[in-house]
A and B are shown apart, each in its own frame.
Chain A
């Protein structure tokens, strides 16, 4: 039984288990009454002497009774033991669980202990350091004082309320006040705006520091010195703020530079902003990097939204816009590049004309594209209006000259009828009067006819077709046969090209130039020569004569309608060369004359080479 009691003193779960097993075995052994050992015990308890006294049979019965009693007791004990064992096992489970938890808690505690140990050590170390530092600090404070004094910047300390507690020599020098005068005074009173200075102190107290806080020191002599303040809070070892340490730099010269720079930047910027044209800078990748106000108006998009976005996004033809700035990057600049801005907020399409060039840094590297766009809405409208008004004018000229012909025909016809029927039948005065009237009516007829031709260049043009210039010349010479024969003119030409033109107009052009060449001839029979050569994208034609020539003074005037240089010796309406100019310009070319008075003239005109 002793073994069972010792379970209470078991150390650990293993120990307890082992002791349980031993106890159970021992008990089992004890409750087997008929084992040799129990019989011996029966013998011992009852004694051999009883066998002799009561006889074997009675003894054996006595022993058996005793043993039964023992058995019963043993079973009772075993039962209570088993229930105790169950209870023990239950407790044992609980113990094991607790033991696990304890283990974890122990481990944690150990870890915490280690940390605690470490931080203790650290604390000790830093305390030591602090100690050393303090010592060092004390040792070097004199040295620092001299350093402070040698500093060219103002160094001041104040208490938390802003009363000056210390200053360096620079403070004395700049302010003009002695150290003694400065210490104990409110910090703010040495500045032009004491309130703002005090606000600075308060900011340091609140936020721990201020940077580049701009103040103006007023010196003892009243001079103003702009300074830039940097200040930090001074704290005691417990972190309480004990004051403010401020360092102020005299920024007089940098302030001036900055002011100049600011003014010049503002000036440049205002020029950019004042520009009516939209100005944009674009990175080489095509992103907008800067814009002016006109760009904001033109696109209907704010500056913030424009910058950083793709330049091409704001046009009706993004690809054309891209080609545009790529051309700038490859050719350095472009002129009069047409694009249309899509103003989505106004739902408007704005035609613009771009002039753009690259801009570079000091080393000459391309930084991007600077592009200026002009709103040409009004220009376009004006052009369209001009086109309309020109067309109206041409139509007016056409109808006027056309309708004038009708009454003129009546005048001419009836004058001629008069002449036919009554010439020589009235008197010589009547004949003369009729002759002048007929002459005037004829000239008017010619004028109207030429005016009609002039107006037709714009109103009755055909689409350009492939035209053989040699065939045109042949036809012109057939038309001019009478004039050629009468003057004895020799008209020659080089091989002539096939060009794209309105053949009727080309005919008119050559006929006017050749007939002029014959008309303005000198004494000998005229020689007229026509040639053509190709120069890049145009043909240059020339009609050369050896006639009276033109004073270079009038070389432009002759192409203006109704401008006549010659008198009645050379009859004409003054419309021929104006018609020539109109025809050439209608074909996209230029016309000019090279001549000297008395040395013949050469008329040149160009016609673009087209497929």
Chain B
């Protein structure tokens, strides 16, 4: 975690994962490893770090601009809703697609995050096969199917 971004390969896509559980980070990494798209996974452990990364502040001065943000709803310090709100209120960041990845099936959470302009909401499945399938689907959908605005 908290890996410092290294040099950027022009052909690979940059993903920012906001997740405090190393087990989940590893699972995601495993899922992406089996994917088709070349990607670089940047991980931060809490909401404060996430905003520093996105605004290239402090140690993240050389951080890449992510093409996709995977956001857990309950990271420490600053929760997912606050991070989402700040991203969507920032004219520089708001076009980056934000995918909510959470264990919560609560209707209130779903409604609230869409109200805050989350791009999609995904519940983490218990089953590994399904999890890997979903990770690859996210990557495939956002990086090859969707036409996004230029960075």
Q: Could you list which residues of chain A lie within 8 angstroms of chain B, going by C-beta atoms?
A: 402, 405-406, 408-410, 412-414, 416-417, 420, 445, 460
Contact = CB atoms under 8 A, between A and B. Distances in A.
Prevailing SS type, chain A contact patch: helix
A194 B131 CA distance: 110
Contact of A414 (B21, B23, B104, B107): B23
B127 interface: yes
A405 B102 CA distance: 12
A412 B107 contact: no
Interface of B: 21, 23-24, 27, 30, 103-104, 106-107, 124, 126-129, 131
Given A414-B23, A416-B129, A460-B107, A409 B124 contact: yes
Nearest to A417: B128
Q: Which of A409, A410, A420 has the most CB of B within 10 A?
A: A409
A408 B128 contact: no
Contacts of B126: 405, 408-409, 412-413, 445
A414 B27 CA distance: 8
Contact of A417 (B27, B103, B106, B124): B27
B103 A412 contact: no
A414 B21 CA distance: 14
B103 A413 contact: no
Contact of B103 (A409, A414, A416): A409
Nearest to A438: B128
Q: Which 7 A-B pairs have the closest CB atoms?
A: A416-B128, A410-B23, A413-B128, A409-B126, A412-B126, A445-B126, A413-B27
Contacts of A408: 126
A408 B23 CA distance: 12
Nearest to B27: A413
B127 A412 contact: yes
A416 B127 contact: yes
Contacts, number: 35
B103 A406 contact: yes
A416 B30 CA distance: 12
Given A406-B103, A417-B30, A460-B107, A412 B128 contact: yes
7 contacts: A406-B21, A410-B24, A413-B23, A414-B27, A420-B128, A445-B126, A460-B107
Contacts of A417: 27, 30, 128
Contacts of B30: 417
Contacts of A414: 23, 27, 128
B107 A413 contact: no
B102 to A, nearest CB: 10
Contacts of A412: 126-128
A406 B30 CA distance: 18
Contacts of B21: 406, 410
Contacts of A413: 23, 27, 126-128, 131
A413 B24 CA distance: 9
Contacts of B128: 412-414, 416-417, 420
Contacts of A416: 127-129
A412 B24 CA distance: 12
B107 to A, nearest CB: 7
A599 B27 CA distance: 50
A414 B26 CA distance: 10
A113 B109 CA distance: 119
Contacts of B106: 460
Q: Which of B21, B30, B106, B128 has the most CB of A within 10 A?
A: B128
Q: Which of A405, A412, A413, A445 has the most CB of B within 10 A?
A: A413
Contacts of A402: 103-104
Contacts of B124: 409
A49 to B, nearest CB: 172
A414 B30 CA distance: 11
Q: Which of B21, B23, B107, B124 has the most CB of A within 10 A?
A: B23
Contacts of B23: 410, 413-414
Nearest to A414: B23
Contacts of B27: 413-414, 417
Nearest to A504: B107
B65 to A, nearest CB: 31
A24 B126 CA distance: 158
A406 B72 CA distance: 13
Contacts of A405: 103, 126
A412 B124 CA distance: 12
A460 B104 CA distance: 14
B70 to A, nearest CB: 16
Nearest to A403: B103
Nearest to A441: B126
Nearest to B131: A413
B66 to A, nearest CB: 25
Given A413-B128, A460-B106, 9 more contacts: A402-B104, A409-B103, A409-B124, A410-B21, A413-B27, A414-B128, A416-B127, A420-B128, A445-B126
Contacts of B129: 416
Nearest to A421: B30
Contacts of A420: 128
A414 B124 CA distance: 14
A400 to B, nearest CB: 14
A445 B125 CA distance: 11
Nearest to A452: B105
Q: Which of B107, B124, B126 has the most CB of A within 10 A?
A: B126
A416 B130 CA distance: 11
A554 to B, nearest CB: 32
A407 to B, nearest CB: 9
B119 to A, nearest CB: 23
A412 B128 CA distance: 7
A502 to B, nearest CB: 12
A420 B132 CA distance: 12
B110 to A, nearest CB: 12
Nearest to B128: A416
B99 to A, nearest CB: 18
Nearest to A416: B128
A410 B26 CA distance: 11
A454 to B, nearest CB: 15
Contacts of A409: 103, 124, 126
A412 B27 CA distance: 12
A413 B125 CA distance: 9
B76 to A, nearest CB: 14
A160 to B, nearest CB: 102
A231 to B, nearest CB: 93
B105 to A, nearest CB: 8
Contacts of B131: 413
A460 B21 CA distance: 28
B101 to A, nearest CB: 12
A420 B128 CA distance: 9
A417 B33 CA distance: 13
A460 B108 CA distance: 10
